[in-house]
Amino acid sequence: MIIIMLVLIVILALYSLIGRDLLHVVIAMSAISLICALLFVLLDAPDVAITEAAVGAGVSTVIYVWALRHTRRRDDDNT
């Protein structure tokens, strides 16, 4: 179970590095935070899990999407 989660985290992290559509990347990062929170619950750290779920999957996603709304959605090649 934990191994599946870790592999998923690595795959999502690689996608968020390489992906070109920034909205998809933001959602992938939010999913990373969610899987991390589940992982923390499995490892008996509920305090950290609450923080990770609230900050990582909630507030930071809101801030990223807000920033995305005021800029362009596609990643640029020549920057």
Partner 1 sequence: MTTRRWLNGAGTWLAIIALAVILAPIFLSATPWPTVARDYLQQQGTADSGAINLVSAIYLGYRVFDTFGETIVLLVAILGTMGLLSQLEHLVEPAQNDQKALETTSRFALAQEKRRSHTLRTHLLEVVTGKVGPIVLLFGFYVMLYGHISPGGGFQGGVIVASGIVFLSLGNPQEGSFGISRPQVLIRLEILAFFTLIVIFSSGLITGSGFFGNPLADTPFPVAHIVLLNAVIGLKVGMSIGFMCIAMMGERT
Q: Enumerate binding residues for partner 1 (CB under 8 A).
A: 14, 17-18, 46-47, 49-51, 54-55, 58-59, 62-63, 66, 70, 77-78
C-beta of 7 vs 14, nearer to partner 1: 14
Spatial CA neighbour of 21 closest among 79, 76, 66, 74? 74
Least distance to partner 1, CB of residue 17, Å = 6
C-beta of 1 vs 77, nearer to partner 1: 77
Non-local CB neighbours of 75 within 8 Å, separated by 6+ positions: 19, 20, 21, 22
